Every structure is written in structure tokens, then in C-alpha cells.
Structure 1
Amino acid sequence: MLRLGCDVRVTDTDNTDKTPDFLAGHGDQNCHIEATTIDPADNPSAEDRNLEDAVAKIKTLDSSDFQLRLIVEGRISRTLSKNELEDKFGKLLVGNDPDEVRRGIREMGDESAPYAEIRGRNWCLRGELQPISDAQKVEGGSRELLIGPMGSYSGDASREVREGVLKKAKKYDRLDAPLIVAVNVLDIRFDRETENSALFGKEQVRYSPNHPEIPAQLVRKPDGVFIQGGHKPRYTRLAGVIFFDGFVPHNPRGSVCLYVNPFGYNTALPQPLYELPHAKGVDGRLNRVEGVDVGFLLDAKSPFKNSGQP
């Protein structure tokens, strides 16, 4: 905000949450800003806990001949018992000859490594054998059984983002200036569709099984910050939301977008805010404006740039 030419004042000086964090102004226009960070590590989901639990149980297994490369696809939707993990991965570790596995990998590549899988409807936990070399055995000492887990984590972060914004939007009644919630999301699943789903509702397909001649429609579920059941506006006191995608002090890069609440009762924001990449509802559609490169803006004028500091 300072780099955009706004005056910024800390208003929640006593950390009592009675007022938003900041007041930003430019000329005779002001807005309150409430800042928050959403990090899945702070509030792990049930799926994340299921993976952590499975990893902890697999680590109780042991092998002097192999390490286990763990690969996860999707998000594990249930708790895996120690018995089923031992049945799959314990048997894998003791049921193979390390010399044969090593020879197969040398001749045909890593794809030939023996593996075991536990599958769910939309997820898979896979363990692949990696032989321990003779040199590693000579070195001795403790050795981690697992390599990983690695893989792609499907799903989206819209629920966590929506709840994080709502938590801030609920804190205050009507204020003397528009309220903006600024959210820094530290989640690898965060993308533009996550932003849209969190604010305007998740996408869903609407069709009529009794009238197949009517084409299916792609619509949004009324569960967003700006929309509630019956497709009625809610939190109209919230003027907008600024999303930052994984901004960290040492690397001020990443996407930024200001979403103006199309139903907000007061959206007269300081004009410099509209220099940011932003989106506004126009005639029932979301009109996007590219705006300035915020990463370049912060980096190019950073007070620490070329200062000799590490």
C-alpha cells in the first residue's frame, strides 16, 4: 500500500481485535485492512493427518537391505491401519532379494523396482523398493527407511481459504470506511479457481435426468464468501478481498488479485488499490484487469536491495 502511494496507519495498536489491523488512505478515500495468513501446516486437514499417520506407522518397519520410496497421489481419505500397512509394505521389504532388485534397476531402470500400493477411490499410496548399496552398509549408522513422501496432492484449498476470509469478515459490524481482507495463502493447491470458489462458490454441473434434452450447465454452488443459500448476497459490509499467493519477505513474487465484492454496500476504495491486478463484477461477469507487477514493485524499490545485508 505504501508503494502504491497510500498513507497507512496501524490501528489495532493494542492487539485487542476491536478494530481492523490497518487504515489505508489516499486523498479523502480510506479503507480498513484486516490481514491474515492461511497455512495448511497450521490447521492440517483430516487427509493431511491420515498421510502423517500412515508415514509414522510405516517408519516403524525396518530393513537392512532396502529403503522405501513413498509416493502419494491424491489425498488419503481414511485412516490406514498398521496391519494393512505392514501387510503391503512390510511384506514388500522382506520378500525381495536386494541383488535381484539392484540388477533389475540397473538393466531396466527405476520403473522395474518392486512396489506395493494401497488404493482408494481418488488416491493411491505407493511404496517402491530402493536397494541400499554395499557402501552405505559399510558406513553404518542410522538410516531413514523412507524416501519421501512425494507426489501430487489433488483437491483444492477453497474451503480453508473461504473459512479464513469469513473468520475475518465476521469480526466487525459496519465501519466508517470500506473493509478489505488481505489474505496471504501458503498452499501449493492455491490457484485462480480456488479464489473464485472461495468467494463465489464451487463449480458444479446442473442437469435434469428427466429432461436429457436440456443441456447441462456449469454453475456455482451458493457457498462462497459473497454468496449464500438461495444465491443471496452476504457479508455486504466486506468491500473486497486481496489474495496474495505465497508471498514471503525474502521472495516478494507471486500472483496478487483484489476482488471487489459486487454486493458490497460501500466499495469506494482508495484509487491506488485499482492499480493492483483486480476483478470486478460487470453485467454478471467477472471483469479482470491485469494491473501492476506487484513482485517487481516490491523488489525494485525494496529498502534492503543492494544494502549489503545478507
Structure 2
Amino acid sequence: MIKLFDHTEEVIKGPSNNNENAFNYYHKSDRKDMAVIRKVLEEWFFNYPNKEKKELKNRFKKDMDSAFYELFLHELFSSLNFEIEIHPKLKDSSKRPDFLIQKKDFSAYVEAKICYDKSESEMAFERRRNEFYDSLNKTRIKGFLLRIAELEFKTTKQPRTKELISKIETEISLLDPEAITSQMEKYGFEGSPFINYENDDFKILIQPMPLIKSKRDKISKNPIGMFPFETFWGGGENSLRESILKKAKRYGKFDIPYLICVNALGKKTSGKIDIENVIWGSLQYTYSTNPDNRDGRMTRAMDGVFYNSGKPKLKNVSGVLVTKVFPSNIPNANYWLFEHPFAENKMDFSRLNLVYSYVKENQIISLEGNDFDKIFGISKNWLE
């Protein structure tokens, strides 16, 4: 019988590297919370159709995010008492959606999509940066951790760190942790000296952060203690919108309901406000030009995925489920389910027993349903 996690004698202690293969870390980590997560994923994998397990396991090794999400959705709809067909055939297309779910007189196609809030170039930059951090973590120092105050890549080449590591090790060996601790107590970060390094490929500004006395005699395994603050303007609405549009146009028209499921993993897609702006249209403040009755109120612009520029859009889509679920937050993950008010194939969302929103008489109404902890029977404090 195929298992998701094979027996292994290899063990990874502590946190993962920045560019660590996610499946490899989940498989080999000795952390107790990882053992709990592995157990749940293995149980879910056992419930997955046998003929599909090999392909899904291979995808876990290459792209854990998308493979996990498909396993999650399979377990979700199974827990909601649906019969599930993996990659069902379509009459007029060689393409296959991810699932066909059925229950008595109810049936719908389901498609899964991962949304990262990042372009290909941004993801390539992140991989290059993570590999840089993993290389820099090979620095061998005692008494300090490293705070990376600034980092700038000048080219698209993968930077070499040998000279930088040598410089850090040399300069930190000359520092007194007690003296710097005293300075930082007076002046904060400014009380620690800076280590500057620059070459043709990158420049970096680093500060040594003194450890407490009991930790100073051992070489730090992962000496990077603080990374540069990551800031950005705006939300992840564009990437979420593009993800929905891409899946909406993939198959054309169906003769039964079609549900698009998007797992929004990016940091920019913060939650309900961003997601509802994409679905229903951006929030805007409107008022009358009548000075005696301004009638100021919040309304929705006509730029949502269901209704845009004065016309219903994506009518082949019956609804959209947006989640923010990771293997580590399964019972606590948030989700948002939306019924398309103009769908050609209406879907009875009450049959899902999930929280969902719909439109009635120009009002957005939300109905109650179960959270993931109740659906999966997993306690919210499962990792404790």
C-alpha cells in the first residue's frame, strides 16, 4: 500500500532552511507538531483513491502547496458526505477539472487553484534570496546572532557568500558581547556596530545581536536572527482576481454547477476585506450632490468578478470558495464561500453546510455553517 510519508531514518532537527523542499521537511522533521500534521495528512492520503495516490504523492514532492490543497479539498468534500471522482472526463474537452462531487440529486465540478500574490520574477527573486540566506547561515560565530538590516541584489546572479562569511566571522571574533549589550540597553539597535559588505552582485548591512550569557559558548546553528522588514503597498486583490478569471475561462460552459476553489497563500491577501472587494466589487463612499441630503454611504463599485462594468460576468461559474489553509492551521483556517448571483447553473450552497454569502434584493447576506474544526473533527489546539 502506498503511503504519503515512507519510513525514514533521516531526521531534520530544528527549523527548516529558507529554500528547504517543503515535503522533505514535513517528512523528516523531528518536531512534535510536524508529527501531528504528518499523522493527519497520512490519514487523509489513506482516504484518497488508490489509483490516484502515486501521482498525488509525486506532486507532493515537487509542489506541496498544490498537492496539499487537492488532498484538503478531497477530504473536505468527503467529510461533507459527497462522492468524489478525480479528474472526471468532459464531453467536449480533453481538459479535466480536479473533481466531480455528487450527493443524491446534487453534482458539481470543482477546480483548485493556488494564489501566491507573486509574479514569476518575484518568486525567482525569493528563491535567490532564500538560497542566499541558507548559505549565510553557514557562518560559524559564538556569542551573537545576526540582524540583517539591509540587503540589495544588484544582478540576477546567485551571490556567493564566502568572502562575506569570512568578514563576519573575523569582525565578530573581535567583539565583546557584554560591551555591546550595555550599549544596546542605552541606544537600542544603534548601540550595535554595523558590518558593511558590497561587491558587484549585492550589498548588505549586518548587525551582531549579543546572546544571553548562557548561550554564548556554543556556535549558533542558524545565526541569522532577524531579517529585513518586508513591506508592500496595497493588497493581493489583483492576483486573486487573476486566479479566478484564469480558472473561469479554462473549460467554457458546463451543464452542471462549477465551483472554483482558491487557496490564497500570499501575505498581501489579508482576509475578508480584500476577498470581498474581488468578489462583490471594491468598497467606495458615495453621496448625493444635493447639499441638503448628502445620503453618504458605503457601496460597491462595479469591478467585482461576478458583476463588472454594468454587466454580469463569469456566468459559467456557480460560486467561489477562497481559503487560507496550510498544513499547520487546518482546523483554524479561514474560508469564504460566495454564490454567483447570475450563474447559469445555480448551485444549492445549503447542501454544503458551509458558511456562505449570496445576494438577495441587492443585499449581501451571509448564512452560518460549520468551521473546519467541526467538519474534520480536529481540535483547534491540535498542535498543543
TM-score tier by shorter-chain length is: 0.5 to 0.7
Q: 2:316 aligns with which of 226, 237, 240?
A: 237
TM score, norm. by length of structure 2:
0.54
Percent identical pairs in the alignment equals: 20
The structure with more strand, counted as a fraction of residues: 1
Partner Cα separation in structure 2 for residue 149 and residue 141 of structure 1: 16
TM score, norm. by length of structure 1:
0.65
Q: 1:25 to 1:55 in 2, by over 3 A?
A: closer
The question of whether the paired residues in 1 share the 8 Å contact of 2:115 and 2:240 is answered with: yes
Q: Residue 23 of structure 1 corresponds to which residue in structure 2?
A: 100
SS in 1 for 2:275: helix
Q: 2:362 aligns with which of 257, 274, 284?
A: 284
Partner Cα separation in structure 2 for residue 109 and residue 272 of structure 1: 61
Q: Residue 239 of structure 2 corresponds to which residue in structure 1?
A: 160
Q: Residue 164 of structure 2 corresponds to which residue in structure 1?
A: none
Q: 1:54 to 1:9 in 2, by over 3 A?
A: closer
Q: Residue 264 of structure 2 corresponds to which residue in structure 1?
A: 185
Q: CA deviation at 1:7?
A: 2.4
- How many pairs are equivalent? 270
Residue segments in structure 1 that go unaligned for 5+ positions in a row: 83-89, 117-124, 306-310
**5 Å matches for 1:37-116?**
37-40=114-117, 43=119, 46=122, 49=125, 68-70=146-148, 100-105=179-184, 107-108=185-186, 110=188, 113-114=191-192
The question of whether the paired residues in 1 share the 8 Å contact of 2:145 and 2:220 is answered with: no
The structure with more helix, counted as a fraction of residues: 2
SS in 2 for 1:244: strand
Q: CA deviation at 1:207?
A: 7.5
1:130 aligns with 2:206: no
Paired amino acid for 1:187: G
Q: CA deviation at 1:6?
A: 2.3
Q: CA deviation at 1:287?
A: 0.6
Partner Cα separation in structure 1 for residue 320 and residue 221 of structure 2: 49
Q: Residue 112 of structure 2 corresponds to which residue in structure 1?
A: 35
Partner Cα separation in structure 2 for residue 236 and residue 163 of structure 1: 16
Partner Cα separation in structure 1 for residue 301 and residue 227 of structure 2: 34
Q: CA deviation at 1:253?
A: 3.5
Partner Cα separation in structure 1 for residue 297 and residue 123 of structure 2: 30
The question of whether the paired residues in 2 share the 8 Å contact of 1:12 and 1:18 is answered with: no
The question of whether the paired residues in 1 share the 8 Å contact of 2:281 and 2:302 is answered with: yes
Q: Residue 83 of structure 2 corresponds to which residue in structure 1?
A: 7
Q: CA deviation at 1:177?
A: 0.2
Partner Cα separation in structure 2 for residue 268 and residue 40 of structure 1: 29
Partner Cα separation in structure 2 for residue 290 and residue 115 of structure 1: 55
Task: Tell me the alpha carbon deviations over residues 8-55 of structure 1, each in whole angstroms, 9 at most, x when there is no partner.
Answer: 2224369x86232222222223211112222457x4674994897699
Q: Residue 255 of structure 1 corresponds to which residue in structure 2?
A: 334
SS in 1 for 2:319: strand
Partner Cα separation in structure 2 for residue 22 and residue 47 of structure 1: 28
Task: Tell me the alpha carbon deviations over residues 93-120 of structure 1, each in whole angstroms, 9 at most, x when there is no partner.
Answer: x8xx866532123x4485664589xxxx
